[in-house]
Amino acid sequence: MDTKQSLAKVIFEAIDNCFPGADGLPQEADIAGMLEIPPEKEMGDYAFPCFKLSRALRMGPPQIAAALAGAIDAGELCQAKQLGGYLNFFLNRDNFAEKTLNTVLAAGEGYGSSDLGDGKTVCIDYSSINIAKRFHIGHLSTTMLGHSLGRIFRHLGYKTVGINHLGDWGTQFGKLIYAFKTWGEESEVEAKGVPELTRLYVKFHEEAEKDPTLDDEGRAWFKKIEQGDEEALRLFNWFKDLTLRDTKPVYDLLGVEFDSYNGESFYVDKTDRVVNELREKNLLTISEGASVVDLDEEESGMPPCLILKKDGTTIYATRDIAAALYRKENYNFDKCLYVVAYQQDLHFRQFFKVIDKMGYDWAKDLVHVAFGMISYDGQSLSTRKGHVLFLEDVLNTAIEKARAIIEEKSPNLENKDEVAKQVGIGAVVYADLQNGRIKDIDFNWERVLSFEGETGPYVQYTHARCCSALRKAEGLEGAAIDYSALGDDYAQELLRQLSRFPDAVKEAANRYEPSIITRAVTELCKAYNKFYYENRIIVDEAGVRAARVALTKAVKNTIKTGLYLIGMEAPERM
């Protein structure tokens, strides 16, 4: 039983004692969730808001708090005091240390996991790159947020389906075929991959400015893809293979994997059914030759959702509707997340609303997990202006820079290459998941790679510091832990951070916000470093040493788990 549950039990019994038989009072199971953390440490460790009982008891919150405080006698666990309308709890420090350490150490790296999601499935549509385009830094957030959310939900017992909804449909692929056939060379494309495809695509646009009939040629080739022409399909699939081949090293560096690569083209033949269904349900109207679903703009603020263009072809939204139906039928998800930049907000709101209008109550389970923009040295990125940063280059630069720092700080480290990779990539991932996802991110090498302050290397370094302390303790184990040695403010703060970790994981899942874990881990590291400066770990008194070592071990496990959940490695030496 964790601390909150123990407190909940005490509170429940006190309520039952003071107000037997009253109606409308919370159950024991609800009370843990009602506990708050007081704004000042002097006000105790937890607070129970008594105004939540006022209505049922027809009493003022301070009177309720006073009555409950008088009824609580749980000295082992805590002292309870009335503070205004709150019942505040001051935990018994030794007991808190014992409970917390036992819980964390028993769970090991599974700390914070639960069976909350048993039997439930979450689909996560993320990364979702576009064919024939290089993987640039604009796709970092969706990739890392989605990857992290997958790990967080699995930690909580959910089944997840990671989907890379490839951008692999549209007239641009007809243009690319024309460009390849006119100016391209098979061996050249095979050797250079996506950059060569990009060159051909840019060339097409330059030439089309001079000769607009090229656009018709591009359209004609796209038509051939649609009709299943053998050559067109072969080239189209080849472009796709090349893109995935070139993207693989980046996914490998990041440790990212998907359960499905079904992208837009996969849903093209599943859009007829969407159109028919919309028609049967009387939702389609014709507007300037195109078919649209009216979304009651007056009320919703959304313009109609385009379903079929004038020429009868589908659009992005049509394929997304088909994809949502497919996912519901095949995965029976409880939630389907779309980790996509906030610029696409209207698109998601529109097609979610269409699904709602089709009468599917699970439309409420579709969630756009939006995030902000990424810039570099204060400049926003623009493919057109040539201010682009390719993800592979960013990761490799980070690894190189980390390698240089390691060379300087720990010249004797054995596995420098491996650690440089873990630290370099970790730094980029941490910077990406550090703040609330909706916040824009500016990339600055110096800040990202610093070993001080709130950075990936700082957190990883704290983990390595714990590992080092634990190595020194090897062979000295065996003594019983003296929990009273953890009564000082530094140790208590550290224990508090540890005890809150499971809630951070749940909150991160509830809010689709990995940064909650990043923050929890960072606070834990700060608290450990303060503790570490104040206390030697390997001291002579065996009971004290055992206590500090156990605390170090609990911290180490929790940092490692936290880092894992945000997609970072935890090197043992660095």
Among all residues, which ones are annotated catalytic? 133, 136, 139
Distance in Å, CB of 219 to ligand ARG, minimum: 21
CA distance 42 to 29: 27
State the residues that interact with ligand ARG by CB under 6 A. Answer: 125, 128, 130, 165, 167, 320, 338, 340
Please, which residue, 166 or 473, has the CB nearer to ligand ARG? Answer: 166
Task: Write out the DSSP string of 304-330.
Answer: PEEEE-TTS-B-HHHHHHHHHHHHHHH
Partners of 374 in the β-ladder: 441
Report the nearest approach of ligand ARG to the CB of residue 437 (Å): 15
Interatomic CA distance for residues 383 and 196, integer angstroms: 16
Edge-to-edge strand order for the sheet containing 305-308?
Answer: 284-287, 290-293, 305-308
DSSP code at position 129: P
- For residue 88, the surrounding DSSP H or E stretch is strand 86-91
Sequence-separated (6 or more) residues with CB below 8 Å from residue 125: 146, 163, 165, 323, 336, 337, 338, 339, 340
Q: Which two structure tokens, joined as six digits, stand for 337?
A: 């997340």
φ, ψ at 568 (rounded to 5°)? -115, 155
Run of H or E residues at 370: strand 366-371
Q: Which is nearer to ligand ARG, 319 or 421 (CB)?
A: 319
Nearer to ligand ARG, 321 or 570 (CB): 321
Supply the minimum distance, in Å, between the C-beta of residue 383 and ligand ARG: 12
Q: Between residues 438 and 538, which has the closer beta carbon with respect to ligand ARG?
A: 438
Nearer to ligand ARG, 131 or 565 (CB): 131
Smallest distance, ligand ARG to C-beta of residue 511, A: 20
With respect to ligand ARG, which residue has the nearer C-beta, 162 or 167? 167
Residue identified by tokens 């996969």 is: 266
Q: Write out the two tokens for 236.
A: 């189209």
Cα torsion angle, 554, 557, 561, 566, sign: positive
With both helix axes pointing from N to C terminus, report the angle between 3-18 and 61-71 in degrees, rounded to the nearest 10: 100
367 beta partners: 337
Q: Which is nearer to ligand ARG, 217 or 320 (CB)?
A: 320
Q: Among all residues, whose Cβ is closest to ligand ARG?
A: 167
- Whichever of 52 and 349 has its CB closer to ligand ARG, that residue is 349
Smallest distance from ligand ARG to CB 360, Å? 17
Cβ neighbours of residue 166 closer than 8 Å, sequence gap 6 or more: 128, 129, 130, 131, 240, 261, 262, 263, 264, 265
For residue 101, give every residue at least 6 positions away whose Cβ sits within 8 Å of its Cβ, in sequence order, or none. 481, 483, 486, 495, 550, 551, 554
Whole-number Å distance between alpha carbons of 528 and 451:
15
> Residue 405 and residue 401: Cα distance in Å, rounded?
6
Rounded Cα gap, residues 573 and 467, in angstroms: 7
Q: Which structure tokens are listed for 112?
A: 């914070």
CB of 306 to ligand ARG, least distance (A): 15
24: left (phi over 0), alpha (psi -120 to 50) or beta: left
